[in-house]
Amino acid sequence: MKLAEFLRQDLIDPNLRAADKTDCLRQMAALLARAGVVRGEEDSLARLLEREKVVSTGIGNGVAIPHAKAAHVQQMVVAVARVAGGIDFEALDGRPVYILFLLLGPQEAASLHVKLLARIARLVKAEGFLDKLREAETADVLYRLILDEDGRQP
């Protein structure tokens, strides 16, 4: 399974500007709705915020992987955002988040959900990958970087 199966270039925002974590998730849910991959923008946001109440999905090293399952989602979807100035995402290491990989999927796709979370966690550990993502200024460059690294990983 490759991340590229669930990510499209129109699901990448290279210049997300958010006031806080909630605003960030709101904008990413809106991105999914604009791209036509979810019908319930408000429900998507509610599910993501509900998940964040459990524990922050800011995993450290400037990365967050907000994720949730929702009844209105027909298939697993991945979106990516870059926040050039960083945002307080209440990350586990206390540092700002610059790169977000958002996962949203149907309730019945729990196994795939976990596999994608693991895939992303593995990708972001690749040497130099996060630096390249932070420097990328366009959706096209971010998309190509992700596809390239995804293709290198087993």
- For residue range 18-59, list pLDDT tens digits in order: 999 999 999 999 999 999 988 888 999 999 999 999 999 999
Catalytic residues, by residue number, are 67
Give tens-digit pLDDT for 117-144: 999 999 999 999 999 999 999 999 999 9
Residues 6+ apart with CB under 8 A from 7: 78, 79, 80, 143, 146
Q: How far is CA 98 from the centre of its chain?
A: 11
> Residue 1: its pLDDT value, please?
84
Residues 6+ apart with CB under 8 A from 143: 7, 9, 12
Q: How far apart are the first and last CA of the chain?
A: 9
> Residue 119: its pLDDT value, please?
95
| Tokens found for residue 133 | 């993502």
User: Domains of the chain (ranges plus CATH)?
Assistant: 3-152 (3.40.930.10)
> Residue 26: its pLDDT value, please?
96
Residues 6+ apart with CB under 8 A from 54: none
| Tokens found for residue 8 | 């499209």
With cut-offs at 50, 70 and 90, classify the pLDDT of residue 88. Answer: very high
| Total number of residues shown for the chain | 154
How far is CA 111 from each of CA 95, 133, 146, rounded to the nearest angstrom?
30, 27, 22
